[in-house]
Structure 1
Amino acid sequence: MSSSPAHKPAPSAGPERPAADGAAPLSLCDREPHVPADRLVAEMVPPPRFDSVRFDNYIPDPSQPSQSEAVKVLSGFAGGLGGDRADGEGGGIRRWFRRGGRQTAPAGPRGVYLDGGYGVGKTHLLASLWHATEAPPERKAFGTFVELTNLVGALGFQQTVATLGGHRLLCIDEFELDDPGDTVLVSTLLSRLVEEGVALAATSNTLPGKLGEGRFAAADFLREIQGLSAHFRTLRIDGEDYRHRGLPEAPAPAGDAEVTAAAHRTPGASLDHFPSLLDHLSRVHPSRYGALCDGVEAVCLTDVQPVPDQSTALRLVVLADRLYDREVPVLASGVPFDRLFGEDMLRGGYRKKYFRAISRLTALARDARRLTGEGDGA
């Protein structure tokens, strides 16, 4: 059984965690981390929240048979990824794509694509696949779509192919195509990796053939989008958002004084004025948002307001994802998280990203109730 490597990120360039209770809180706005390329590669493993997930602790909704089917299919996929790839032909990968004892043609799908709404457990299943694949950690990679494109930016295209080309499995979470450049880049990259024998697995809220729809002139890049779709067998996973299934509504925002007091008495907490933090995020590349959170045990925000524009909103989505990955509770004053994004945004091409961010921030707000003395059963 494969095990997860220890998460020991390189030290951030930001301030150190306070040495003792009562010290001034951290500030995310004071941090300008620099992330070397080798850290980007080393951190392409499931985030801490998903260290212990496995297929056998995924709990399918009995009313949604597609969830149980996904576990069955992915378990079989993982079982076909074993064996030595020393022949350079990815024999273990091809074993999974056999029909009646014969291999499928190499041009057939070489990956699985988990499509479904937010909160149905797609990332749990993707991380479980990574853990179940019998390969050394350095021979399999896990990252979000944004982290993958950031890796190409840091290493260059050819070096990224060389780095990932020897892998048995590449897992891509939150697969989205936000612009034409990404479409061409990722289509070319994945085609090269498939040629090298790398198996692919991805999650998204959008079917492969619909990627980019509503965000740019997808029809102009139809060939690239269809090329991406051809790499995957799609598994639809239906269901409700497990983070809110049967739970009470999100807690009401705290007051400024309550947030500030909690930040001062919580070791490792950060305290920031929300509009100032949004401004600071515009000066930090999203690939560094994970490092921005290094050593932070809780995020406290005052004066949360609706985000003013699309670019700011998309940066906030990335920060929400990194906080959720690291299980960092978020205590905030101001407007509730379900009012962060205006109606025009929630009807637009990025609406699925915004709903995911609302879902995840709401879960982190529930986690933050302990900072104010509330019990989880409240």
Structure 2
Amino acid sequence: MSYSSPVPSRSGDMRPDMTPIRGKGVFATYEQLVSSGTLQPDPAQRAAAMALDRLATELTRRHEGGDGFLSRLTRRRPQPLRGLYLVGDVGRGKTMLMDLFCREIALEKKRRIHFHVFMQEVLRVLNRPQSRQTRREDPVRDLAGKLHAQYDLLCFDEFQINDMSDALLVLRLLDLTMALGTVVVATSNTAPDALMKSQTQNRATMKPYLEAFSAHMDVLTLEAVRDYRRGRLPDETVWLVPDSAENSTLLRQAFEAATGGRAEPGTVAVGSRRIAVPACRDRVAWFGFEDLCGTPLGPADYLALASQFHTLFLDAIPALVPDDFDKVRRFITLVDVLYENRVRLRASAASLPETLYRTGENARAFERTASRLDEMRAQGWGEGQDEE
């Protein structure tokens, strides 16, 4: 199995001017960013930075002491190290701190990846057709061995599981991988024992998998004082409210200006399938809300769109109600993917993000979505994508 280069991906929480100088250490770099005014002082973030610094020291010491190399040479498992699971409300700096940790730690065999992307890679590998020669009795265990051979450290952003079959698969995979010695650091809005909490009928089945996963992790709750994504000066042309004919026209005019009036229908390939794009030109695309969230699309589809376009225009986002839970779930995933890949979103909507969806099955998860949308509305967010 082969993954892409273990270079941390872009994060919406780590601004370009926050890129640390490697080698100073996680905590020292965090303190430097506070001293320079790049970050605001926050006791909870400071405590998390200290915990990540301790883990970085232990992991580096184990690697430099020969555990990583010699264990593979002698087939001896390295001394287990507990990973760190950062949990807290939206916008508290979890991603920023994890990115700081992953960039600062002096390991070559590391990878920072959004959990949506990791799940898609895992499912793609496990669903790959196998010949009689390549067939394995336990493909999950085989994949865990390959992951461990490739990475000493895995950093997951937005750890969240919404499907029972995916939950059992990924929890077992990570349990096996961490048992071999790979360390996992993850961020999430949900504590491990609350994952899939709504699946009351299947909790008994999930419990041993959750307990095995949690046994490898220390859980640290980040109770920062505020949502740091909010409060930036918004660009009033990015999120047009309400969802009216007038605002839909204004959004269409902005799209025509961005594409020079030469947009045409197109498609984006996702494996053997194709997603219809109502209108696009170069790396700018137009969709209606129902095009992307009213049809059965998933993370792989949104990732394909994010790789193709640097700007998405999304028309007619409605007020969402509890019965819209499938659409809400897709919209949450779409925003996660766009945010992670720094894709700019311009939209017309029934209301501001924080009041789009207040009650229902995914209301708690939507708090993160509203926070991210609030940041994405800020002036200058996502600039520079045109040239990439």
How far 1:159 moved relative to its partner? 4.9
**Which residues of structure 2 form unaligned runs of 5+?**
21-25, 127-139, 242-246, 260-282, 384-388
The amino acid across from 1:242 in the alignment is Y
Q: How does 1:289-328 map to 2 (within 5 A)?
A: 289-307=302-320, 309-328=324-343
Provide the C-alpha distance between the structure 2 equivalents of 1:65 and 1:134, rounded to a whole number of angstroms. 26
For 1:370 and 1:225, the matched residues in 2 are separated by: 36
Q: CA–CA distance in 2 between the matches of 1:297 and 1:148? A: 22
**TM-score, reference length from structure 1:** 0.72
Q: Once structures 1 and 2 are overlaid, which stretch shifts more, 144-153 or 111-120?
A: 144-153
The aligned amino acid for 1:153 is: L
- Name the residue aligned to 1:5: none
Does structure 1 conserve the Cα–Cα contact (< 8 Å) formed by 2:91 and 2:229? yes
State the match for 1:26 in structure 2: none
Instruction: Give TM-score, length-normalised by structure 2.
Output: 0.71
Are residues 210 and 236 of structure 1, via their aligned partners in 2, closer, same or farther at CA, if it must alter by over 3 Å? same
Instruction: Give yes or no for the alignment of 1:165 onto 2:148.
Output: yes
Please give the root-mean-square deviation of Cα atoms over the aligned residues, in Å: 3.1
Please say which of residues 323-332 and 206-215 is displaced more in the overlay: 206-215
* Correspondence 1:76 to 2:54: yes
Alignment match, 1:209: 193
Report the Cα offset of residue 45 of structure 1: 4.4
Deviation at 1:249, TM superposition (A): 7.2
For residues 128 and 92 of structure 1, the distance between their equivalents in structure 2, rounded to whole angstroms, comes to 28
Verify the 8 A CA contact 1:330 1:367 in the aligned structure 2.
no
Partner of 2:134: none
Q: Distance in 2 between matches of 1:299 and 1:329?
A: 6
Q: Residue 215 of structure 1: CA displacement?
A: 4.0
CA distance in 2, matches of 1:185, 1:297: 33
C-alpha distance in structure 2 between counterparts of 1:370 and 1:210, whole Å? 33
CA contact (8 A) 2:98 2:187 kept: yes
Q: CA deviation at 1:234?
A: 1.5
| Residue 277 (structure 2) aligns with | none
Partner of 2:252: 260
Contact 1:178 1:216 in 2 (8 A): no
Match of 1:149 in 2: 119
Deviation at 1:163, TM superposition (A): 3.1
**Percent of aligned positions with the same letter in both sequences?**
23
The CA deviation at 1:242 is: 0.3
Offset at 1:305? 1.3
Residue 237 in 1 paired to residue 215 in 2?
no
Equivalences, count: 311
Report the 3-state secondary structure (helix = DSSP H, G, I; strand = E; otherwise coil) of the residue aligned with 2:155.
strand
Task: Give 2:289's match in structure 1, choosing from 274, 291, 310.
Answer: 274
Alignment partner of 1:130 out of 102, 106, 109: 102
What secondary structure does 1:141 align onto? Answer: strand
1:112 aligns with 2:84: yes
Q: Contact 2:77/2:180 (CA < 8 Å) preserved in 1?
A: no
Distance 1:198 1:320 in 2: 30
5+ residue gaps in structure 1?
1-36, 95-105, 372-378
For 1:250 and 1:216, locate their aligned partners in 2 and report how far apart those are by CA, in whole Å. Answer: 42
2: CA distance between counterparts of 1:369 and 1:79? 34
Q: How does 1:9-28 map to 2 (within 5 A)?
A: none
Could you list the per-position Cα deviations for residues 206-227 of structure 1 after superposition, in whole angstroms to 9, with x for gaps in the alignment?
2222222234446412222222
Tell me how far apart the structure 2 counterparts of residues 218 and 204 of structure 1 sit (CA, whole Å): 21
